[in-house]
Structure 1
Amino acid sequence: MSYQQHQQLLETLHACMAACNHCYDACLKEENVKMMAPCIRLDRECADICHYLESAITRNSPFVSQLASVCAEICTACGEECKKHEYDHCQKCVDACFQCAEACKSIA
């Protein structure tokens, strides 16, 4: 499949990456940063894999399906971690991560 056929997924990946980057930055500004460490770590992992999968799709990588599977797993883990926190930035990240995980599963 060409990247044009994955346009919606590309937009979902980009939105998840942006939500994770925002959450990462906001978590660093929270009072108890140490408590937020798992969230911060998963935000970075998730943003990075979303960006990488987005790039892989646009270059028509033969590994898109495998990368999408890993991306779905990481997005789910990030969403589950963010769900533990009441902060608005974490809750927005939950939604983006779970949407992205579902989208990735559809091509994995």
Structure 2
Amino acid sequence: MDNHDHTALIEKLLACVEACENCATACLLEDGVKPMVRCISLDRDCADICSQAAKLLERRSEIAHQYLLLCEEICRMCAEECEMHPHDHCQKCAEACRQCAEACHAHHQPIIQD
């Protein structure tokens, strides 16, 4: 693991966690919850994965950068789903997820094998 400062990335990850948790909670309060099921599910997955990614970066885990690949993928999936819904909380979540996905992508490092 490198010694780079990951403060900005961790902040993006935690902002995404907050947006996803807020979105999932707000979706559960919508009149028609049934169409929001996939959104809620992806919100919860994204929040969990981003939270774990932040923890791995904070403790300088050897697998943190590989984990960011998964984090980028779930953030993009969640953003695509949230963008399909007109609710303000979904739009805010989609934006946070897009920003987090880009931040994760920027920190990918190829695995070097001897």
Please state whether the residue corresponding to 1:5 is helix, strand or coil. coil
Q: Which runs of 5+ in 1 are unaligned?
A: none
Structure with greater helix share of residues: 1
State the superposition RMSD in angstroms.
0.9
Percent pairwise identity: 49
Query: What amino acid maps onto 2:10 in structure 1?
Result: L
Instruction: With the length of structure 1 as denominator, give the TM-score of the two structures.
Output: 0.96
Instruction: With the length of structure 2 as denominator, give the TM-score of the two structures.
Output: 0.91
Moved beyond 4 Å, runs of 4+: none
Give aligned pairs, total. 107
Query: What amino acid maps onto 2:40 in structure 1?
Result: I
State which structure, 1 or 2, has the greater radius of gyration over its C-alpha atoms. 2
Alignment partners' CA distance in 1, 2:42 and 2:49: 10
Deviation at 1:66, TM superposition (A): 1.1
Determine the structure 2 residue equivalent to 1:103: 103
Alignment partners' CA distance in 1, 2:43 and 2:79: 9
Q: Which runs of 5+ in 2 are unaligned?
A: 109-114
Please state whether the residue corresponding to 2:46 is helix, strand or coil. helix
Provide, for residues 2-51 of structure 1, a one-character-per-residue CA deviation record: whole Å limited to 9, x for no partner.
4x700000100000000000000000000111110000000000000000
Determine the structure 2 residue equivalent to 1:32: 32
Alignment partners' CA distance in 2, 1:107 and 1:8: 11
Query: What amino acid maps onto 1:11 in structure 2?
Result: E
Alignment partners' CA distance in 1, 2:95 and 2:107: 19
Alignment partners' CA distance in 2, 1:51 and 1:12: 10
